[in-house]
Amino acid sequence: MTRRLRADHVVDFRAVDPVAEIMRLTDGRGVDVAIEALGTQAMFEGARRVLRAGGTLSGLGVYSTNLIIPLGPFAAGLADTKIVTTLCPGGKERMRQLMSVIASGRVDLKPLVTHRYKLDDIEAVYELFSHQRDGVLKLAITP
């Protein structure tokens, strides 16, 4: 799906260590921004580890357990990173920019909707999504 959406680089976590691969792709520099949208401790840690000095981690994930942020580097003043937690970083302006990209036709997001359900089937929707079955990415629910 990432290739279909024209990503410059695709990292398959099943084939390689994503942190090592991202560091290789950036010649050891790391990334300016890492977005953690899955909501797991492991993904948060990985996103934090690939940040360059002065980078920003945007945590969008909804965590079902307590997120643990290792304070050692921060307390010592060595982290030189910023963590932003919000479900809509950049607010309305960011949304306007995203809608502009979609309107331009540069990216087709329709393939992201892998399943469609009626509102009456909401329990099945939650079951499918919570267990990440059948290649689910995004669900469309219609009344």
Q: For the chain, which residues make up each domain, given as ranges?
A: 1-107, 109-143
Decide if pLDDT at 92 tops 90.
no
pLDDT score recorded for residue 116:
93
Dihedral class, residue 120 (left if φ above 0, else alpha if ψ from -120 to 50, else beta): alpha
More confident residue, 1 or 12: 12
Query: Is 0.85 surpassed by the pTM of this model?
Result: no
Report the residue count for the chain: 143
Measured on CA atoms in the order 102, 91, 112, 110, is the torsion positive or negative?
negative
More confident residue, 10 or 85: 10
Rounded alpha-carbon distances, angstroms, from residue 25 to 7, 18, 30, 58, 104 = 14, 10, 8, 20, 29
pLDDT in tens, 20-76: 999 999 999 999 999 888 788 888 889 999 999 888 888 877 777 788 877 766 655
The overall average pLDDT reported for the chain is 84
What value does the mean pLDDT take over residues 88-112?
79
Q: How far apart are CA 23 and CA 46, in angstroms?
A: 11
Rounded alpha-carbon distances, angstroms, from residue 87 to 12, 75, 90, 121 = 25, 26, 10, 26
Alpha helix stretches (DSSP H) within 2-118? 18-25, 41-49, 72-75, 91-103
Residue 84 pairs in a beta bridge with 58
Domain 1-107 sits in CATH at 3.40.50.720
